[in-house]
Amino acid sequence: MPELPDVETIRRGLIPRVAGRCFGEIILNWPGMVKWPSPEEFCQRLAGQCIEGVGRRGKYLILRLSGGEALLFHLRMSGALLLNHPEPERHIRAIFRFDDGSELFFSDPRKLGVMWLVDDENIIVGRLGPEPLEPGFTPEVLGELLKGRSAPIKAVLLDQGAIAGIGNMYGDEALFVARIYPLKRAKYLSKDEVGRLYSAIRQVLESGIAHGGATVRDFRNPDGEPGEAQIFFNVAHRKGKPCPVCGTPIGRISVRNRGTYFCSRCQGGR
C-alpha cells in the first residue's frame, strides 16, 4: 500500500500536469470504487469542475476543486494514477478526460482503490493524526502521542489516528534507524528513544520522497515509473539478508498481524 512518501511523489508528479485543468468526461469502468456519492452523481458533479490544488493528507491524495468540493483518492494495495496508458485495458478502473484533451487513468488490478467526492475533505481525513513532516510535529508532540499507550511501538506507528502516513515499510525503517525493538510498548520509550524515533521518522520519510517512493510490488509514479526508495531500505523486506550496520541476518516477526522486519542486534529483542 502506498505510504506518505509514495503518495507525496504522486502529488508532486501530478501538480504540473493537472493543476488548472477542468474535468470533461469521466468514465467509470468499475463503479464500485466510488464510495460517495453514487457513481452517477459522482460523474455529473465532477464534470466541468477545475482542479485548483493537489494536496495530500496521510495516505490520501486530494484534488481541491473550483466548486468548493474535494476529490479524494486512496490507492490501497495496487492502485495507481497514471498520465499515460501502458497497461492492460482490464486494469483501468476510471478515466478522467480533461478539457485540454489529456487524460488521467486510475489503474487498479485488485479493485481495492476508492474515491470520494465531498463538500468537506475533513469528512474523510479529519480523524487522521498529525503530519510527521509538518513543523507542528515535534519530539514533544510525539512524546505526548505515546504516553499511556500499551500497544507495541510498531503498531502505534501504523495507527493513522496517531500519526498520518506511516505504513509498514517506513515504520520498520524508522524503528531500525532509531534502534528501537518493534514490540517495545510505546509508553515505555525513554525521552532519548522518543527523540531518536522523531528524527528517524522524518529521516526515512524524507529519504523516501527524495527517491521517488518505494516500489516493492505495485507502486508507480504518474508517468508509470517505479520508485527507488526500496533500494536504500535497511531492513524492510530484507529477511535473512545481513544488517547493513552489524551483519546480523534481518529477522521477521508479526506485530498485530503485520510482517515486521528488524535487526535483533541493533534493535534488541533477542
Active-site residue 17, yes or no? no
Q: How far apart are CA 255 and CA 206, in angstroms?
A: 25
User: What's the chain's length in residues?
Assistant: 270
Q: How far apart are CA 220 and CA 20, in angstroms?
A: 23
CB 74 within 8 A of CB 114: yes
Active-site residue 3, yes or no? yes
Q: How far apart are CA 86 and CA 83, in angstroms?
A: 10
Max CA pair span of the chain: 60
> What single string gives the DSSP state of each residue in 90-138?
GGEEEEEEETTS-EEEEE-TTS--EEEEES-THHHHTT----TTSTT--
Which of 149, 252, 258, 265 is labelled catalytic? 258
Active-site residue 239, yes or no? no
Which of 21, 56, 59, 220 is labelled catalytic? 59
Active-site residue 121, yes or no? no
Residue numbers annotated as active site: 2-3, 59, 258
